[in-house]
Amino acid sequence: MLHGLAVGFGVVFVAELGDKSQLLAMTLAARYRPLPVLAGIAVATLVLQGLAVTVGTLIGDRLPTRPIQFVAGPGVPRVRDLDDPGRRRGARRRGTREPCRR
């Protein structure tokens, strides 16, 4: 039971990180002048996104693409089928017995 509680807490904590940033921005904007707070948030976002792109590019250039494609490849059709259930073989229209026509 504690394991499930810890996993649930961890997932919610990670999902709510964006909300915590918004709360912090609103708190700072209420306490200080909004324009400098907005400018600081914009600069921080640009720096972090630039850093993420740079590090991702450096790591991505050093990783072999063939093994990654081999591992990730079989999951792509499954994700596509989740997106559009009508593409699955033998899928039927909801509420009818007739197959989907494309």
Render pLDDT for 20-68 as a digit per residue (tens, 0 to 9). 778 888 888 899 998 999 899 899 989 999 999 999 899 888 888 888 8
Domain holding 11, by residue range, is 2-62
Q: Considering the domain boundaries, does residue 89 fall inside one?
A: no
Q: Considering the domain boundaries, does residue 26 fall inside one?
A: yes
CA distances from 41 to 16, 23, 36, 52, 79 (A): 18, 12, 9, 16, 34
Q: Considering the domain boundaries, does residue 101 fall inside one?
A: no
Amino acid at 32: Y
Per-residue model confidence (pLDDT) at position 84:
60
Q: What is the pTM of this model?
A: 0.47
Opening angle at CA 66, ends 63 and 68, nearest 5 = 65
Overall domain count for the chain = 1
CA distances from 19 to 2, 7, 13, 24, 26 (A): 25, 19, 10, 9, 11
Q: Considering the domain boundaries, does residue 94 fall inside one?
A: no
Structure tokens, 56: 């991702």
